[in-house]
Structure formats: structure tokens, C-alpha cells
Structure 1
Amino acid sequence: MRAARPGEAGVTLVEMIVVLVIIAIVAGMIVGSGILNRPDQARVTTANADLHTISAALKLYRLDNGDYPTTAQGLKALAERPETPPLAPNWNPEGYLPEVPVDPWGHPYVYQSPAPGGFALTSLGKDGKPGGEGLDADIVGRK
């Protein structure tokens, strides 16, 4: 191993500044491109997929029992046999979903059975409140 000559040892201040500028440019590109928003976009995609899955489970429930669960019975009727009328005479012993679902933000999905033969299913978005814009906007799935 040879000893370093004067001027060869270590990193110069100019080299360090160049590296820091490159890091700052890359960080700016990441923040500016919206890569950090990907988890929120993934939650919206997951909520849409959940709405399709829950809708399919509701349709199977209707095929077996003649109608959708009432609003009072809610989505719980897909995971546990309803104990309030109208009872589900042909309820699948394995259930239609393994558990009562919640949206990707941890809020319950809003289920309404407004008329015979139909239902409304909604995720209230990131804020968990009706309405909103952007990530707070409701995500609606209907039959």
C-alpha cells in the first residue's frame, strides 16, 4: 500500500457539492413526479376492487336468498347469518365474505338497500365523510 500524495487524499469540497446537487435534483424529480402519492392511488384502486368483490358477494347472497340484505342487516349479513328479519333461509354456511369489510382507510363501507332488487355501496374516501374532492371523494359502486 502506498501513502497518499498531497492532493490525492479524501474528497474535495467541490466534489461533495456536486454530489449534494445531484441528490437534490433526484429528490426534486421524485417529489415532483408524484411517486410519493402512489400509496394513495393504490388505496383508491383497492377500494374499487373491494366494491366489485362485495357487489359479487351481494349478488350471490341474493341468488341464494331471494333478495339483498336490508340496510339494517348491512354487510354483516355477508359474514354472519342474519338474525333479524328477513331471515336468509338458504344462507351459505361458509358465508359470502370471510369478515365484514372496511375500506383501505379503515372506514366501514356504506351499504344501502334502497329498493327491492338494488343496492348502493360506497367508500367515503380518505376523510371518511360524505362528499369531498380528490382522495376525500366518495368512491361509489352500484348494482
Structure 2
Amino acid sequence: MQTIKNKKQHGFTLVEILVVVAIIGILASIIIPKLTSKVDEARVQKAHLDIKSLSSMLVIYKLDKYGYPDSEQGLKVLVGQYLKTLPKDPWGKKYLYLSPGLRNTKSFDLYTLGADGAPGGNDENKDIGNWD
């Protein structure tokens, strides 16, 4: 006679899986907004650092050439001798340059219009420039 072994299968029930998925969803809804705000803060900080770096290069240019490049020449005069390439702002747009500046009338304005690409704004949409 054959004996039938009682085999019990081990695994998760559908209810257990749904509970775990719900917990993951709740945690994601709490964590993801906090992470995206950190990304926005990092972009703003990168813009500030890029502007400081480009401003330093413009000061070196002034020492070599006895003046800042005019608005028409723009930042492109830095490529080659001072920079390999011009950085773009954290939102993928070109940094804007005016010489003489509207805010810094004795030197230049170097700025980005922020995430929205429009003048003014708040938070990540705020204009960031060498006047901050």
C-alpha cells in the first residue's frame, strides 16, 4: 500500500500581498515628494555655483583683456582659453549675460530665469543671478 504524504504548500496569500503593496504605496506617497523637493533645491544650488564659477572666469578675462566682454560677445568668448564648453543652467537653458548690467551697472549681469524660463517667480522658478 502506498502512503500519501501530506504536502502543505507554503507561500503568501493574496491578502498578504495586497497589504504589502498598500504599505509600499503609502511609503512611496510620503517619500517621493520629499525627494523631488531635494532635486529642485540641488538644481538651484548648481545654478548658484555655475554663476560664481562663470563670474570668476569673467574677472580673469577682464584682467587679461582690460574689460568684460560686451553683451553681443557674450559668454562664448570664454570658450577655448578659459572654458572647454559653456555650461547650461540646470534646466537645460543658456545662462544670460548683459554687460554693462542692469542690476550691476559697473560690471555685468549673469543669470538664469529659473525652471520656468520666465522673469520673476518663486522657489525653483526664481531668477538666479550674480546679484544674489
Band the TM-score falls in, shorter-chain normalisation: 0.7 to 0.9
- Indicate the residue corresponding to 1:105 in structure 2: 91
Q: Tell me the CA shift for residue 45 of structure 1.
A: 1.4
- Indicate the residue corresponding to 1:27 in structure 2: 28
2:66 aligned partner, one-letter code: G
CA distance in 1, matches of 2:37, 2:95: 23
Of all paired residues, the percent bearing the same amino acid is 42
CA distance in 2, matches of 1:51, 1:3: 73
After alignment, is 69-78 or 8-17 more displaced?
8-17
Q: Deviations over 1:81-136 (max 9, x none)?
A: xxxxxxxxxxxxx5111123321212111111126741111111112221122222
Structure 1 residues without counterparts, runs of 5 or longer: 80-93
TM-score by length of 1: 0.75
Post-superposition, which runs of at least 4 consecutive aligned residues in structure 1 deviate over 4 A? none
1:52 aligned partner, one-letter code: K
CA contact (8 A) 1:75 1:111 kept: yes
**Pairing of 1:108-127 with structure 2 (within 5 A):** 108-114=94-100, 117-127=106-116
TM-score by length of 2: 0.80
Aligned Cα RMSD in Å? 2.3
Structure 2 residues without counterparts, runs of 5 or longer: none
Residues 139 and 3 from structure 1, CA distance in 2 versus in 1: closer, same or farther, beyond 3 angstroms? farther
CA distance in 1, matches of 2:69, 2:7: 80
- Indicate the residue corresponding to 2:65 in structure 1: 65
